[in-house]
A and B are shown apart, each in its own frame.
Chain A
Amino acid sequence: MIEILSATALASVQDLGRDGYLRYGVGTSGAMDRVALAAGNILLGNPENSAAIEIPMFPFQVRFLEDIAFALTGADANAELDGQPIPPWWTIQARKGQELRLSPPTHGARCYLALAGGIDVPVMLGSRSTQLRGEFGGYCGRTLKRGDVISAIASAERAEAYTALPAAGFGIEPPEFTLPLGDLESTAHATRTFVRVLPAAEYDCYEDASLESFWSQDWKITSQSDRYGYRLAGEALVTKTTLEQRSHGIVPGVIQVPHSGQPIIQLRDAQPSGGYPKIGTVIEADLWRLGQARPGTQLRFVQTTYEEALSALDEVHDYLNKIRRLTELYLLSKR
């Protein structure tokens, strides 16, 4: 069990998302950076889909109400456990009464706090993710508040597996170093995020100059960017003729262009349908990069193909499989 000590809003309980209810208008929700969420669970020996806390606002502070191992992934929030510095992408055992403090990250947007066993909230429509619009799922269908007490799922294996955890804990390599994309200078300073995009239905309806600038310009991620979507600012995109689509299903990553010509990337809390023209879709394998891109920084779209997008997805799975195998091996050697 942990107690939330921060008044900061917007932290929420998320797993990998809710599948199979789009036909009732229920969007997927789930972690904005699903690779970080899965990796945090892997560090703890949890199923990858276990629920964790997504933290987008800092400082953020919790108190441990029992001895329990936890993992931190995602943005590096210069974590301290009772003053002891904890490296990013790390797991360590907390003792009852200890306090974990996360500070504003230098790079990245969201930090994930996972607990051994996974966070224990009811499964609603197949998922533990918070459905903010529908006000259900997660912790009471809402973001977390000061004083909330959150439990982990108790498991016999949990206690046993972590007797081997070194006192200082251990970590894993964050995915941006295993799966780099774009120019390294920008990546290192997190000033510009590169994501791969597959053209979507209305791609061919745009003026040639607009298509050219879509790929070549730096798009600014505006302050009106959150779990619902990222609103971008740049040179407006112009269609050859006025388009009005019939309402149809959309998925996280779809780049819609309203009449203003300024694109909106639909994300995890986006509505699952829409009618604005779609110029492209940020591929599933790169959505975690978007989840860590902050308002005020630049975004660059890189054109890709379906086959390349599948390979990129395989690479993400390979990364997760590799960290799972090596984590198990490492813990085994420490027994």
Chain B
Amino acid sequence: MKNTDHADASPRISLLGTTGLLFEPPGDMDLHTQRRIWWLARHVEAWPCIKEAVPGMSNLMLIFDTPPRNIGKVENDLLDAWNSAGELQLDGRIIELPVIYGGEHGPHISDVIEHTGLSIEEIVQIHTEPLYTVYALGSHPGYCYLGGMDPRIATPRRKVPVLGLPGGAVSIGGAQTGVSASAGPSGWNTIGHTDMVFFDPQRDPPALLAPGDMIRFHAERIIK
């Protein structure tokens, strides 16, 4: 089993029990890396021992169909595939999301203010500035992990996860930002709220957004 530090040049591969494995290449969390992750996901999905390849934020989880007896071979094949991986270009749509920042539905913006030392206006300005790319879906049905957040507003995840967060919560967790698609628990800092239906199990595919789509947040209101 390869288990090296991020500082090393080689990717880290770790087991998730006998259910799957996690592949974490070194380097920045940027669109170039993410496009190689998308390429790798599409490539390894065809392997007979793989049930599903699930992109994360510059990493990839593989779920085994049946757990391979020779795990070392799978790890080597994966490294070989990564070394030959190109960038998969996904042509996405652009979606505008109106957000109410702060107030009742942005209860943790004070923690972001405290951590960053920025004012609420500055935080909103920095958060609405970029065109975010959907890097991956995860967390709960229809939830999108977005790439491209300005590191100036990065805020650590909460010490204790919050249990009953409503759907449409716009939040910051570490160097990432995202929007929850339905009510549930979260360890991220909620800074605002949007109305949008991100998931419908009757639809195919069931999620509104896919990797490669883009989101722009637009400040509808700021509540201090």
Contact = CB atoms under 8 A, between A and B. Distances in A.
A249 B41 CA distance: 13
B18 A249 contact: no
B160 A258 contact: yes
A22 B145 CA distance: 13
B17 A284 contact: yes
Nearest to B159: A259
B14 to A, nearest CB: 4
Interface string A192-215: 000000111100100000000000
Dominant secondary structure at the A interface: loop
Nearest to B1: A306
Interface stretch (A149-157, A163-171, A274-282, A322-330): A274-282
B57 A246 contact: yes
Size class of B's contact patch?
A: 35 or more
Nearest to B19: A251
Interface stretch (A35-43, A110-118, A128-136, A181-189): A128-136
B96 to A, nearest CB: 21
B174 A254 contact: no
B14 A201 contact: yes
Interface string A240-281: 000010111111111000111000000000011111101001
Interface in A130-145: 131, 133-137
Contacts of B176: 246-247, 275
Size class of A's contact patch?
A: 35 or more
Given A284-B17, A310-B67, A248 B59 contact: yes
Contacts of A161: none
Interface string B63-105: 1000101010000000000000000000000000000000000
Contacts of A204: 3
Interface string B1-44: 10100000000101111111010100001000000000001000
A177 interface: no
B55 interface: yes
A198 B187 CA distance: 25
B214 interface: no
Given A200-B14, A246-B56, A258-B159, A20 B51 contact: yes
A281 B64 CA distance: 15
A35 to B, nearest CB: 15
B142 A25 contact: yes
A236 B161 CA distance: 16
Q: Of B41, B63, B174, which is in contact with the most chain A CB atoms at under 10 Å from its CB?
A: B63
A23 B54 contact: yes
Given A275-B157, A283-B18, A24 B56 contact: no
B43 to A, nearest CB: 15
Q: Of B138, B176, B182, which is in contact with the most chain A CB atoms at under 10 Å from its CB?
A: B138
B69 A282 contact: no
Given A246-B58, A275-B174, A310 B139 contact: no
Contacts of A258: 157, 159-161, 187
Nearest to A229: B185
Interface string A291-321: 0000000000000001001100100000000
Contacts of A285: 18
A198 B22 CA distance: 14
B113 interface: no
A198 B15 contact: yes
Interface in B126-158: 136-143, 145, 156-157
A125 B206 CA distance: 9
B57 A247 contact: yes
Nearest to A287: B17
User: Which A-B residue pairs are the 6 nearest by beta carbons?
Assistant: A249-B61, A273-B138, A201-B14, A248-B56, A281-B17, A134-B141
